[in-house]
Amino acid sequence: MRVLAIGTTGVNMKLLSAALEKCHKEVGRGRLGIYFVEDELKKEVDWVTFLDSDDYYWQERAWREAVARSISRAEDGGPENAILFMNLPYFRKSRFFPAVDISVIRAFKPDVLITLIEEAHVIWRRIQLREEREKTGAFLRLKDVFAWRTASILLGDTIAKALGVQNYVIAVKHPARTIYKLAVEGARPRFYLSFPITHVRNNAEARREIDMYRATMHQRYIAFDPLTMDERVLILAKRRGNTAVIEAGDRWLLPPEVKPAVEDEPELYPMEIPVDQVEEVLVDIDNIIRFKDFRYILQSDAVAVYRPFMNKIFHRGVFSEIIYASNTAHKRLFIYLPPEDKGSGMESPFGPWTGTVEEDFEKFLQAIEKFASRFSAG
């Protein structure tokens, strides 16, 4: 299996590669070839000079040559399974580059492309800390990081279409096993986990219950989880004068039983972001989160919905995902709707055309397992 992995600068690809290598060893599939285009590039050019150059054609040429050398190393090493990591695109002083040479990438013969994403504020802070140490002249506003991620996803889709392969967008805080099985094994089925978030965020009991459901699904299946990125903390960040402050404890990420492939460095927190930079992105934050979650639904075989009326509350985000999965993405739906979530005299709003609706959690899991078994049989 040949995997092309792209993402913006600041996504912690080295940590991810180590986690994927560990997964590969655990399943006993021999050596996993890991190659980084930026490592090859930095062997031949001064990094700051490369980024700041006005010679666009030289930048393109240097990038092509670095990609070619990386692919040559993969060919010479001869591993059956290999992952080629690269930052795409580069971003410097409000400019994206280079134009991607598909012919060079095609020589790698990738079977799949994955676009790696991480919270914008985490990348912003990570780059800021690196700049304090290395003085490369990098400066980004928070909104630049959001735009950069969108450009990376778009570029991933463009490359994938040109190569005739699938582009999977996935947050690096998913479990390493999930990313490995998706990218290297091409395993199925893939589920999107839909569950209440906003209205239960401060409800410890509800969060524990939801996390138990999430842990169960992550341990059994390949699951795209919306809370492998928690950018809603930007809305909830405490204000101290002209600064928005995010503490590590503010985040709602994976359940304690599930280890992410990449974890935030402790030095990132408390994270202080100028309020004006936060306010620039808040107008679009819900749309940005929705775009990411809907992309996960498109990449899934089915959507597993947990308690859309939890605590007798109409959870708008969950219902938007149900409607999108059913009407736009045409995905199978499995919905857990226990009796206590229904109001007095309330009937289920889900007709038989919606999907499988179960009042009992074990029957809900059994229905999902029955669906999953079809893929195993295939």
Looking at residue 349, what is its pLDDT? 72
Picking from 236, 267, 292, the residue at the C-terminal end of a domain is 292
Mean pLDDT, range 345-368, rounded to an integer: 85
- One domain, residues 331 and 279: no
Q: Is 286 exposed, middle or buried (0-12, 13-18, 19+ CB in 10 A)?
A: middle
Looking at residue 102, what is its pLDDT? 96
Q: Does residue 224 surpass a pLDDT of 90?
A: yes
Picking from 262, 292, 322, the residue at the C-terminal end of a domain is 292
Looking at residue 376, what is its pLDDT? 78
Question: Which range has the top average pLDDT, 25-29, 133-137, 245-249?
Answer: 245-249
Mean pLDDT, range 165-187, rounded to an integer: 97
Q: Does residue 378 surpass a pLDDT of 60?
A: no
Picking from 274, 292, 310, the residue at the C-terminal end of a domain is 292
pLDDT greater at residue 221 or residue 344: 221
Domain count, the chain: 2
In one-letter notation, the amino acid at residue 304 is: A
Looking at residue 139, what is its pLDDT? 86
**Tokens matching residue 281:** 């992105």
Among candidate residues 57, 372, 13, 50, the one with its CA nearest the CA of residue 216: 372
Contact at 8 Å (CB) between 142 and 279?
Answer: no
Among candidate residues 375, 32, 316, 61, the one with its CA nearest the CA of residue 198: 316
- One domain, residues 12 and 141: yes
DSSP β-bridge partners for residue 91 = 96
d(CA 106, CA 83): 14
d(CA 102, CA 378): 33
- One domain, residues 88 and 193: yes
The per-residue pLDDT of the chain, averaged, comes to: 94
- One domain, residues 177 and 264: yes
Model confidence at 78, pLDDT cuts 50, 70, 90, reads confident
Cis peptide leading into residue 79 (ω within 30°): no
Among candidate residues 189, 211, 177, the one with its CA nearest the CA of residue 368: 189
Collect all residues with Cβ–Cβ distance below 8 Å to 181 and sequence separation of at least 6. 187, 222
- Cα–Cα distances (Å) from 342 to 55, 213, 242, in that order, read 64, 20, 44
Mean pLDDT, range 226-230, rounded to an integer: 97
Looking at residue 363, what is its pLDDT? 98
Residues 289-335: pLDDT tens digits?
A: 999 999 999 999 999 999 999 998 899 999 999 999 999 999 999 99
Q: What angle do CA 124, 225, 219 make, to 5 degrees?
A: 125
d(CA 298, CA 331): 8
d(CA 109, CA 154): 20
Residues 86-106: pLDDT tens digits?
A: 999 999 989 999 999 999 999
Residues 334-351: pLDDT tens digits?
A: 999 999 998 766 666 776
d(CA 356, CA 335): 6
pLDDT greater at residue 135 or residue 365: 365
Looking at residue 252, what is its pLDDT? 96
Mean pLDDT, range 192-210, rounded to an integer: 97
- One domain, residues 156 and 279: yes
Mean pLDDT, range 344-368, rounded to an integer: 84
Range of the domain at 29: 2-292
- One domain, residues 313 and 179: no
Residues 130-172: pLDDT tens digits?
A: 988 888 778 899 999 999 999 999 999 999 999 999 999 999 9
Phi, psi (degrees; rounded to nearest 5) at 340: -65, -15
d(CA 73, CA 33): 9
Contact at 8 Å (CB) between 119 and 10?
Answer: no
